[in-house]
Amino acid sequence: MANLNPEKTQMPVQNPDERNKNFDEVATGYTEEMATDEAQRCLNCKHKPCISGCPVNVNIPSFIKEVGQGNFKRAYEIINDTNSLPAVCGRVCPQESQCEKYCVRAIKGESVGIGRLERFVADWYMKNIEPKPQKPEPNGIKMAIIGSGPAGLACAGDLAKLGYDVTIFEAFHVAGGVLMYGIPQFRLPKEIVIKEIESLEHLGVKIELNAVVGKMISIEQLMEEESFKAVFIATGAGLPSFMGIPGENLCGVYSANEFLTRINLMKAYKFPEFDTRIKVGQRVAVVGGGNVAMDAARCAKRLGAKEVYIIYRRSEAEMPARLEEIHHAKQEGIIFRVLTNPVRIVGEHNFVTGIECVQMELGKMDESGRRRPTVIEGSEFILDMDTVIIAIGQSPNPLIKATTPDLHTYGWGGIITDDSGRTSKPGVFAGGDAVTGAATVILAMGAGKVAAAAMDEYAKRLK
Ligand SMILES: Cc1cc2nc3c(=O)[nH]c(=O)nc-3n(C[C@H](O)[C@H](O)[C@H](O)COP(=O)(O)OP(=O)(O)OC[C@H]3O[C@@H](n4cnc5c(N)ncnc54)[C@H](O)[C@@H]3O)c2cc1C
């Protein structure tokens, strides 16, 4: 019997007043009963519009049908056909602007909780099934991947399944890219990413950590001296942008990138058990309105800040963060100051003491399709602060471009590719944030998969 409830089955979450003091996962996941109930809200409609909203084309109605019948293993297999990181995507994909946006149930209520179901299936599988990876017949051809974020991992998985000898080169001492160093534990437990990476290693993928391509070895050396037939650049967009306003060099100003890396990768929240420290004052301003800003603000709160502000120059409707993250941040006590733009960070004796802002109003549409914020003259004011975290965007690190002749890039640093990830340099492919600029996990994975197919075609043509 179809479940006609217009609302999604509620996701159990930790109480906001407790969770804003710990780093445990906020949403605790569906039980088998809840998942089966929610799956029965799917109408399995003829045109299946949800699939076209998924950048990796997961066969959503089929996997949900299996969940509805209690066949969780089969549901996992269907998802895993096209998505190698379902436990990650079920947690962090912006479903409201992808698969769930096109769900027919959303016309007269809430869409089916596709992300919640994907997460349930992936978690159920991890808990109940011992993976028996089938190593494919090796073809002896070496493929190099630079960067171990979702783009690199997805590309590696597809190439390994085709029998290639795949090595990932990763600059950090831990694999996973933003999944490990950026997104906090309370949204994406690291054990999940580690398990997903282990399943790639079972397929034969090798990961070389602490390997900065462009410093220790160049792409040309990988191809000419180490006989890699093709290379996939998946180095992400890890270079933080700053506002260029006075006071950004004061002590107490962080880029969100550094702040989150210290917390997530270096486990600063477990000091002194781990060596890295982080100083967060009583009043913290986070500048920006995306997922990165929400993560930084929620981490600051968990590290003991009394008042944490999101300072954003447009209105809440224009915030690029996932709706769920905005909702959770508010529940946890983060204060939103929208239509507010910093013009100066104020300090004394080289330390932050405040942030000077102006009030904004929304004008005409700009090239991004959003209403342009303009300054209200004479609206300056100062908010007292101890810490300021800048989360206004990231761009690709210029190292690869600087050390790879003939690799064409845009002025802002993104690598230029065709639709299948081919760059201007023969045998060199690229995808993910290194090409698009800061985007999403699932788009990076989609790019990794497309490039894997193109690299396979390229290698076959060289034979
Ligand atoms: C804090 C934060 C929160 C986010 N939240 C979400 C979310 O909720 N949902 C969502 O969909 N997206 C989110 N995103 C965006 C998403 O994580 C990225 O779009 C995605 O990770 C990009 O994947 P990627 O593989 O291209 O790059 P990355 O994940 O950045 O991985 C690139 C990897 O390459 C390595 N590398 C870089 N240069 C070199 C080199 N020269 N040699 C060797 N290795 C190198 C880096 O160390 C890194 O490990 C978030 C991003 C951040 C920063």
Same domain, 297 and 313: yes
Residues 6+ apart with CB under 8 A from 124: 32, 35, 72, 76
| Whole-Å CA distances, 429 to 200, 434, 451 | 20, 11, 7
Tell me the C-alpha distance between 225 and 77, whole Å. 39
Residue from 93, 294, 441 to probe ligand 1 pocket by mutation (most atoms less than 8 Å from CB): 441
Same domain, 34 and 111: yes
User: Domain range holding 385?
Assistant: 242-392
Tell me the C-alpha distance between 130 and 171, whole Å. 31
Q: What is the pLDDT of residue 348?
A: 96
Tell me the C-alpha distance between 350 and 347, whole Å. 6
**Is residue 359 assigned to a domain?**
yes
Same domain, 207 and 266: no
Q: What is the pLDDT of residue 139?
A: 96
Q: What's the helix, strand, coil split of the chain in %, to 5?
A: 35, 20, 45
Q: What is the pLDDT of residue 108?
A: 92
Output the domain CATH number for residue 347.
Answer: 3.50.50.60
Of 100, 128, 156, the position where a domain reaches its end is 128
Q: Whose CA is nearest to atom 38 of ligand 1?
A: 235
**Is residue 136 assigned to a domain?**
no
**Do 414 and 435 form a contact (C-beta atoms < 8 A)?**
yes
Same domain, 372 and 258: yes
Ligand 1 atom index nearest CA of 448 = 25
Q: What is the pLDDT of residue 138?
A: 95
Q: Whose CA is nearest to atom 5 of ligand 1?
A: 291
Q: Whose CA is nearest to atom 21 of ligand 1?
A: 178
Q: What is the pLDDT of residue 129?
A: 92
Query: Nearest CA to 339 among 357, 354, 321?
Result: 357
Question: Total structural domains in the chain?
Answer: 3
State in Å: Cα 178 to ligand 1 middle.
Answer: 4
Residue entry with tokens 């650049």: 233
Helix 323-331 / helix 291-302 crossing angle, nearest 10 deg: 20
| Whole-Å CA distances, 395 to 245, 257, 389 | 19, 11, 17
**Do 240 and 429 form a contact (C-beta atoms < 8 A)?**
no
Ligand 1 atom index nearest CA of 91 = 8
State in Å: Cα 45 to ligand 1 middle.
Answer: 35
Whole-number CA gyration radius for the chain = 23
Ligand 1 atom index nearest CA of 147 = 34
Ligand 1 atom index nearest CA of 182 = 1
Same domain, 453 and 359: no
Residue 216 Ramachandran class (φ > 0 left, ψ -120 to 50 alpha, else beta): alpha
Tell me the C-alpha distance between 380 and 375, whole Å. 10
Q: Quick one: tokens of 208?
A: 């070389």
Where does ligand 1 bind, in terms of residues with CB under 6 Å? 92-94, 146-152, 169-172, 177-178, 182-183, 211-214, 234-236, 238, 260, 291-292, 295, 322, 397, 399-400, 432-434, 438-442, 444
Q: Whose CA is nearest to atom 7 of ligand 1?
A: 92
Is 37 buried (19+), middle (13-18) or exposed (0-12) by CB count in 10 A? middle
Ligand 1 atom index nearest CA of 394 = 53
State in Å: Cα 236 to ligand 1 middle.
Answer: 5
Residues 6+ apart with CB under 8 A from 175: 148, 153, 168, 197, 207, 209
Of 359, 392, 425, the position where a domain reaches its end is 392
β-strands 283-287, 307-311 pairing:
parallel
**Is residue 9 assigned to a domain?**
no
State in Å: Cα 17 to ligand 1 middle.
Answer: 30
Identify residue 32 by its one-letter amino acid code. E
State in Å: Cα 150 to ligand 1 middle.
Answer: 7
* Interior angle at CA 63, CA 60 and CA 65, nearest 5: 105
- DSSP code string of 212-269: -BTTTB-HHHHHHTS--SEEEE-----EE-----TTTTSBTEEEHHHHHIIIIIS-GG
**Is residue 135 assigned to a domain?**
no
Q: Whose CA is nearest to atom 37 of ligand 1?
A: 235
Residue entry with tokens 């076209």: 52
- Dihedral of CA atoms 404, 405, 406, 409 in degrees, nearest 10, equals 50
Residue from 235, 259, 310, 327 to probe ligand 1 pocket by mutation (most atoms less than 8 Å from CB): 235
State in Å: Cα 14 to ligand 1 middle.
Answer: 27
Residues 6+ apart with CB under 8 A from 87: 119, 122, 123, 126, 192, 195, 196
Same domain, 147 and 220: yes
Residue from 167, 254, 291 to probe ligand 1 pocket by mutation (most atoms less than 8 Å from CB): 291
**Is residue 10 assigned to a domain?**
no
Q: What is the pLDDT of residue 316?
A: 95
Residue entry with tokens 């974020």: 149
Q: What φ, ψ does residue 322 adopt, rounded to 5°? A: -60, 145
Tell me the C-alpha distance between 401 and 348, whole Å. 39
Same domain, 378 and 257: yes
**Is residue 167 assigned to a domain?**
yes
Same domain, 344 and 372: yes
Same domain, 315 and 284: yes
Same domain, 249 and 381: yes
**Is residue 26 assigned to a domain?**
yes
Q: What is the pLDDT of residue 134?
A: 76
pTM score: 0.94
Ligand 1 atom index nearest CA of 436 = 26
**Is residue 59 assigned to a domain?**
yes
**Do 295 and 263 form a contact (C-beta atoms < 8 A)?**
no
- Dihedral of CA atoms 257, 261, 263, 267 in degrees, nearest 10, equals 180
Same domain, 205 and 250: no
Q: What is the pLDDT of residue 132?
A: 76
Q: What is the pLDDT of residue 26?
A: 96
Of 68, 96, 128, the position where a domain reaches its end is 128
Identify residue 125 by its one-letter amino acid code. Y
Identify residue 112 by its one-letter amino acid code. V
Same domain, 317 and 417: no
Tens-of-pLDDT digits for all 463 residues of the chain?
688 899 999 999 999 999 999 999 999 999 999 999 999 999 999 999 999 999 999 999 999 999 999 999 999 999 998 898 999 999 999 999 999 999 999 999 999 999 999 999 999 999 999 877 778 899 999 999 999 999 999 999 999 999 999 999 999 999 999 999 999 999 999 999 999 899 899 999 999 999 999 999 999 999 999 999 999 999 999 999 999 999 999 999 999 999 999 999 888 888 888 888 888 999 999 999 999 999 999 999 999 999 999 999 999 999 999 999 999 999 999 999 999 999 999 999 999 999 999 999 998 888 878 889 999 999 999 999 999 999 999 999 999 999 999 999 999 999 999 999 999 999 999 999 999 999 999 999 999 999 999 999 999 998 7
Output the domain CATH number for residue 32.
Answer: 1.10.1060.10
Q: What is the pLDDT of residue 347?
A: 97
